[in-house]
Each structure stands twice: as C-alpha cells, then as structure tokens.
Amino acid sequence: MAGPSARSTRSSSIEVPGTRKNRVGPGDRLFADLQPSADEQKFWLENTSKDYYESPYYKAHVEDLQPVPAPRSTPPRVDLADVIGTDRIALRERGRRLVFHATGDTGASSASRIHLEARVADAMTAQLTAAQGADAPAFFFHLGDVVYNFGEAEYYYDQFYEPFRGYDAPIFAIPGNHDGFPQEGQASLFAFLRNFCTVLPERSPDSGGLVRSTMNQPGVYFTLTAPFVSIIGLYSNVLEGPGVISSEEGAYPLGDQQLEFLTGELAALKPKGKARERAVVLAVHHPPLAADAKHGGALGLSNDIDKACNRAGVWPDLVLSGHAHLYQRFTRHLGKIQIPYIVAGSGGHNVNSPPPGDDLTPPDGYTMPVGPRLDYGFLTITVDFSGRPRVLVDFNSTNPKRPKGDEIIIDLQRRVVEEPLAGT
C-alpha cells in the first residue's frame, strides 16, 4: 500500500507503469489505481488536529469568515467533456441519460471511523464498477468537508486519496467549512486549492503516491456542465453556523461575487431549463434548510438563493447540501412547483441526530416527507432524458441493518416530486 513516504510531486503526464490504458480525456488523467489495496486499518499519519480547537489562534478566529479565492475564469465553468473526453460524453448522449454520485462530509478524522468512510467509498466504487455504459456514474460531486478537522494537506492521503483509490471517475468538490478554516500561518483553502483547483491535472504531493490526478476546477465556486444537467456549486465559507455566500447587505465582510455568479448562471440556464432540455442542480455545503439546528438552515443563505432565483426568473430542480451529518429530504412548494432540498452529509465522517429539543417542523412552504436518517450513505442521481425528462434521486444507505434507502423522481415537465418508488 502506498503511504506518505511514497509521496511525489510528479505530474500525471509522467508515465506510471501499467497505467497508459487507463488515461482519460484531454488532460491525460488518471483516476484509480489499477490494483487497489485493501482498506486501511490505521492511518499512515495519526490525526491530532482536534487539539487545534484549543489553540489561541482558533479561538481568536473561529467566528471570522475567510476570503473567497477569485476563480481563474469568469464565469467559472468546467465542461465534463474536457475531463473525461468526448467519447465518454457521446456514450451518455446516445443513452440520453447521465448518472453521478453525490455526498458530503466524508473525511474520517479518527481511526475509529476509518471503516465508516471506507464503507461509503467502497459502496460507491462497487456501484461504479458494476454499471455499464450510460448507467455508469460519470463522476462524484463532493458536497464539502473532504478533510477534517481543518482541511490539512497532511491528512489528504488518509481521508481522501486512500478511501477513493479505486473510484475510477472524476471527483469534483465544493469546500466545506472544515476545508477552509486556516491553520496559523497558512492561507484558507490552501490544500483544497492544490488538490481540486490546479491549473492542469497533475500528481498531488498529498496523494501518498496514489495516481489520482488533481482536479483543475476553475475555482471553489463554479458550474459543472454535463450532458442534460448543469450543477452550480457554491462555497458557503467556514462558520459552523450559518453558511454565507455574500455580504448579506453589509452584515458580513464579503463581496457579492458569488451572489452575482449564481444569478448570472441561473439566467444563462433559464432558456434550456424552461424548455425542459436540461436539469439545473444547486449544490452548497451549508444547508439552506436542515432539521439539525446546529448545522443550519441558514436563513441568510436561503434568502440569497431566493434573491438570485427571483432575479434570474428560474429555480433549480434540485438543491443539494451536506454539513448536517445525516440524510434528510424536504420539498419546497412554490405554487405548483415542487423542489427537493436534500441534505446528504453522512458520507463517512460521522452521523448525528438532531439535538434534543430541536423543532423538526419545517417552515411554511416546505414539507419534510422523510424524517432524518442516521445512516451513512450517498446519493446516486440519474438525469434521464430517454423518455419524459426526469431526475431520479436514490439515497443508498450503507447500514447493513437498514439497507433500505430513499428514492424519488423529479418530473421535469410538471416540476413535481413523485414520492418513493413502488416497492421500496
């Protein structure tokens, strides 16, 4: 098994024996090791970052928002075809469907949780490996909190590269609050940027010798364009409490670039969204709505999203988030339109029930068809245009005692949510 002693700064363009046939796309990328080793039983580097919570620096800055790095391009967009190649895109276009994974809060910060993250990563990898053609997940969209407790570069091997060493597909990500909090003397998001936002795909110095190429997203907020779907990813900063994407009219020391970006991207997607030619997904780490009061929802964030949607004249078909360490699903009702708001924050780090006394009653305009699920798991999302346009969302529980998950269909023509499929 590779470990920190095998770390290398080599570019992925330098040949690794036996990997030529696995190289993918214009960037000559590698995603998975050819012969993945068995799951880790212990960390290569013991995680002691929890001690940092007691440091003077953390206590002095825990309530400070951090700067949002400017993207390399305006607007920041990445096309899936530039990552996996036109041949793999054509396969999905012929099948008129695209499948992808999503979950958040994956990083196992203690040795006692290694098996929990591994269970989720292994299940995702098994699903990817077993599927064929257009049914194979094209990528994993990570909903933030990749590495705990503070996104440290030295823990990327144990918490990211090793668990997903066999996942042979791209992994895109938006940062979570734990990814962005700075260590003393180091800029916020330092490790996230060098693993997900490099100029070109390359070998990461944090990969421990594993071959996965870095992702060259244009920034920490961006739009991923893929067949039949666009995913707008936002960075909601570092606070444990509310997620923040703007100044909220002067309440926070941030610019409004993300709010303007969201408005512009929604407006650009409006024609195809209105024509039901493309699904529009919004992803943000902090949930706009959550049953767990400690982890959201964030009223200011929710208001910013509404403001952008109203200005653009279009609403997303699905809203995804993490941060709260559980699975929960709400339905937002806007006249005849129904929009699922799904929290998928049980990707391996931990699961937490809402604190006793939390009011689980959703606010006006929302219903909660499914109560909080305290199971580790991930989403498989299928955007299907082979018949009537629809999006299928499947929560895959990895709890062997409660394997039954949760499934819905979003009817893109009628803009309604069909409740769990028959027989589930």
State pLDDT tens for residues 378-414: 999 999 999 999 999 999 999 888 888 899 999 999 9
Predicted local confidence at residue 100, as pLDDT: 98
pLDDT band at 420 (very low <50, low <70, confident <90, very high): low
Contact indicator for 104, 321 with CB cutoff of 8 Å: yes
Would you give the DSSP letter of residue 340? E
Question: Closest by alpha carbon to 137, among 166, 105, 174, 101?
Answer: 101
pLDDT over 70 for what percent of the chain?
92
4-418 folds as: Purple Acid Phosphatase; chain A, domain 2 (3.60.21)
**Is residue 111 within a helix (H) or strand (E), and if so which, with residue range?**
none
Query: pLDDT confidence of 30, banded at 50, 70, 90?
Result: very high
Per residue in 243-261, pLDDT tens?
999 999 999 999 999 999 9
Work out the average pLDDT over 209-230: 97
Among 18-27, 147-156, 180-189, 240-249, name the one with the lowest average pLDDT. Answer: 18-27
Q: Give the separation between CA 104 and CA 326, rounded to whole angstroms.
A: 10
The pLDDT of residue 354:
76
d(CA 206, CA 209): 8
Other Cβ atoms closer than 10 A to 190? 17
Quote the CA–CA distance of 257 and 157 in Å, as a whole number. 32
3-state secondary structure of 49: helix
Q: pLDDT value at position 186? A: 92
> Where does the pLDDT of residue 105 fall: very low under 50, low under 70, confident under 90, or very high at 90 and above?
very high
Domain residue limits, the chain: 4-418
Is residue 11 over pLDDT 70? Answer: no
pLDDT at 6 > cutoff 70: no
- In this predicted structure, what is the pLDDT of residue 21? 76
Q: What's the whole-number mean pLDDT along residues 322-328?
A: 94
The pLDDT of residue 10: 36
The Cα 224–Cα 78 span in angstroms is 5
Query: Strand pairing partners for 391?
Result: 383, 410
| Res 398: pLDDT | 95
C-alpha–C-alpha distance, residues 290 and 155, integer Å: 29
Give, rounded to a whole angstrom, the gap between the first and last alpha carbons of the chain: 39
What is the β-pairing status of strands 77-79 and 366-373?
Answer: unpaired
Q: What's the confidence (pLDDT) of residue 125?
A: 97
Please say if the pLDDT value at position 1 is more than 60: no
Q: What is the pLDDT of residue 149?
A: 96
Question: Which pLDDT score is estimated for 7?
Answer: 43
DSSP-derived letter for residue 154 is G
pLDDT tens track for 45-99? 999 999 999 999 999 999 999 999 999 999 999 999 999 999 999 999 999 999 9
pLDDT score recorded for residue 9: 39
* C-alpha 171, offset from chain centre: 9
β-pair partners for 411: 390, 416
Is 423 a residue whose pLDDT tops 60?
no
Question: Which residue, chain included where needed, has tokens 């099948």?
Answer: 95
CA contacts within 13 A on the Cβ side of 130:
6
Residue 179 has pLDDT above 50, yes or no: yes
